[in-house]
């Protein structure tokens, strides 16, 4: 018995919200040497067309040599389709092939139907005012404090990168579990009260219908738009997760001292490309970072240089005034914050990219993007054209918002975003 493991190749770049045209077919072949056929190769071709966000998948298999009759055993997990080829051979009839095709198609359908459930206008019938309610709440919050818009956008990112976009970042710790929101990278998250207010109003309007995860996705979109950025349609239908684990936040969220390779890897694990990563990082055009997130660049950068040499000199002086050396800071626990974008701190524009070109990216991970030939090219192009970045940002946000979405029994509609229903 030989084992052949097939992992779907990365989907093609995601051009626009799912439709048939956006699913580009591609062909991949898998060659497996047969131990019982004088080492003849047995090519299998699989044609598949996938839409990376909707995960609509069509698949067909063909034994094109026909030298060896085959018996297959299939198993499908979240990420892998495993095909076991059994020898010695028996007759591989057309009927068997047909059954095989049907099994794969059904398995794929079961596997992907959850993601297909994310659609634009998901609440049109069940809670027609859902998106309007969220928008009104977010709009009021942002008119009180524009920083909340930045907070809500980051909340969505931190939700999606840890066990998918399932509202797990909103769950409170329990006596037995430390939740994501209590892990170090999430301590500075803000905007939770805005989600609570939206949920309160939604439960009054249409109880048990709108998930916390969808509220977070709508709120992030509305924040970007209300801060002057683009608008996009959010596919909805996410269900809320029932687990929140602080250690998963630590291991899944990229750190502000990551280099390009590490950042690319971190986004790759979530099905996002390096280009998506550079495009989404433009979110740092709004909001703040606390001194603790970049202080190392000022005082303790490396064994050869206390100061990060890529930092603009004038910026260094300004930052040092706000962020004293950690050891000399007598104000225990004080951790002031600085605008991520020095030029237009609360406008959702492309200033982030020309800040980076000038050595004025606040986080080490931001400035690192200018040190790599490929990502620096993308930085330059986004700095040049706000419109083209803006268009790409929308698409990348939709892609991010569909990471490991839970539907059906894999999730629930929480009555209160802080606790799972069985504990409420
Ligand atoms: C590329 C990897 C990324 C890293 C390493 C990173 C890291 C950080 C850090 C350290 C902060 C400051 C936290 C603080 O000190 O309070 C921050 C803020 C922020 N991040 Fe990121 N981030 C990344 C990508 C993203 C993405 C993809 C988004 C959204 C799409 C995003 C949105 C934001 C926003 C809006 C803020 C400001 C939050 C506020 O003012 O409350 N970040 N990020």
For residue 363, give the ligand 1 atom closest to its CA.
10
Ligand 1 nearest-atom number relative to CA 286: 35
Mark the ranges of the chain whose per-residue pLDDT is less than 70: 1-116, 327-332
Q: Say whether both 135 and 62 belong to one domain.
A: no
Can you tell me the distance from the alpha carbon of 298 to that of 317, in angstroms, rounded to the nearest whole number?
A: 9
Q: 86 catalytic, yes or no?
A: no
pLDDT at 201: 98
Residues with CB under 6 A from ligand 1: 147, 150-151, 153-154, 157, 188, 190, 254-256, 258, 263, 277, 280-281, 283-284, 286-290, 293, 340, 363, 365
Single out the residue in 116, 148, 174 at which a domain terminates: 116
Give the number of domains in the chain: 2
Are 140 and 276 in the same domain? yes
Residues annotated within the binding site are: 159, 162, 164, 166, 168, 180, 254, 284-285, 341, 344, 349
- Residue that finishes a domain, picked among 90, 116, 142: 116
**Residue 211 and residue 97 share a domain:** no
Q: What is the pLDDT of residue 424?
A: 87
In a domain, 139, yes or no: yes
> Same domain, yes or no, for 157 and 249?
yes
Q: How far is the CA of 236 from the centre of ligand 1 (A)?
A: 24
C-alpha dihedral (91, 92, 94, 98), degrees to nearest 10: 140
Q: Domain containing 49: what range?
A: 2-116
Q: How far is the CA of 291 from the centre of ligand 1 (A)?
A: 13
Q: Looking at the structure, do residues 165 and 279 belong to the same domain, yes or no?
A: yes
Residue 93's φ and ψ, nearest 5 degrees, are -80, 165
- Comparing CA positions, the residue from 274, 298, 275, 277 lying closest to residue 363 is 298
């Amino acid at each position: 018995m030989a084992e052949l493991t097939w992992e779907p190749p990365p989907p093609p770049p995601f051009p626009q919200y799912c439709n048939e045209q956006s699913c580009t077919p591609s062909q991949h072949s898998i060659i497996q040497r047969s131990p019982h056929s004088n080492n003849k190769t047995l090519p299998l071709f699989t044609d598949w067309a996938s839409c990376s966000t909707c995960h609509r998948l069509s698949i067909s298999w063909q034994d094109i040599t026909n030298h060896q009759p085959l018996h297959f055993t299939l198993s499908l997990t979240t990420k892998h389709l495993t095909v076991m080829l059994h020898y010695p051979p028996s007759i591989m009839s057309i009927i068997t092939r047909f059954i095989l095709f049907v099994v794969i198609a059904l398995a794929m359908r079961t596997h992907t139907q959850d993601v297909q459930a994310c659609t634009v206008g998901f609440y049109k019938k069940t809670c027609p005012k859902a998106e309007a309610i969220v928008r009104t709440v977010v709009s009021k919050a942002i008119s009180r404090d524009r920083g909340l818009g930045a907070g809500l956008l980051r909340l969505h990112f931190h939700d999606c990168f840890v066990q998918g976009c399932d509202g797990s970042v909103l769950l409170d710790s329990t006596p037995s579990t430390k939740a994501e929101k209590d892990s170090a990278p999430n301590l500075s998250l803000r905007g939770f009260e805005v989600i609570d207010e939206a949920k309160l109003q939604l439960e009054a309007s249409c109880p048990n219908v709108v998930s916390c995860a969808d509220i977070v996705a709508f709120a992030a979109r509305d924040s970007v738009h209300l801060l002057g950025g683009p608008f996009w349609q959010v596919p909805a239908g996410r269900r809320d997760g029932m687990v929140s684990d602080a250690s998963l936040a630590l291991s899944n969220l990229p750190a502000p001292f990551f280099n390009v390779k590490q950042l690319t890897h971190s986004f790759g694990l979530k099905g996002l490309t390096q280009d998506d990563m550079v495009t989404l990082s433009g979110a740092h055009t709004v909001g703040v970072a606390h001194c603790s997130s970049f202080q190392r660049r000022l005082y303790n950068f490396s064994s050869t240089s206390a100061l990060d040499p890529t930092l603009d000199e004038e910026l260094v002086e300004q930052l040092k005034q706000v962020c004293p050396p950690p050891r000399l800071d007598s104000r225990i626990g004080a951790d002031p914050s600085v605008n991520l974008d020095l030029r237009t701190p609360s406008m959702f524009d492309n200033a982030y990219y020309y800040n980076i070109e000038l050595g004025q990216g606040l986080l080490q991970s931001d400035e690192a993007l200018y040190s790599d030939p490929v990502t620096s090219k993308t930085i330059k192009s986004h700095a040049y054209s706000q419109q083209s970045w803006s268009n790409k940002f929308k698409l990348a946000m939709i892609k991010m918002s569909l990471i490991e979405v839970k539907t059906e029994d894999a999730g629930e509609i929480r009555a209160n975003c802080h606790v799972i229903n069985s504990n409420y």
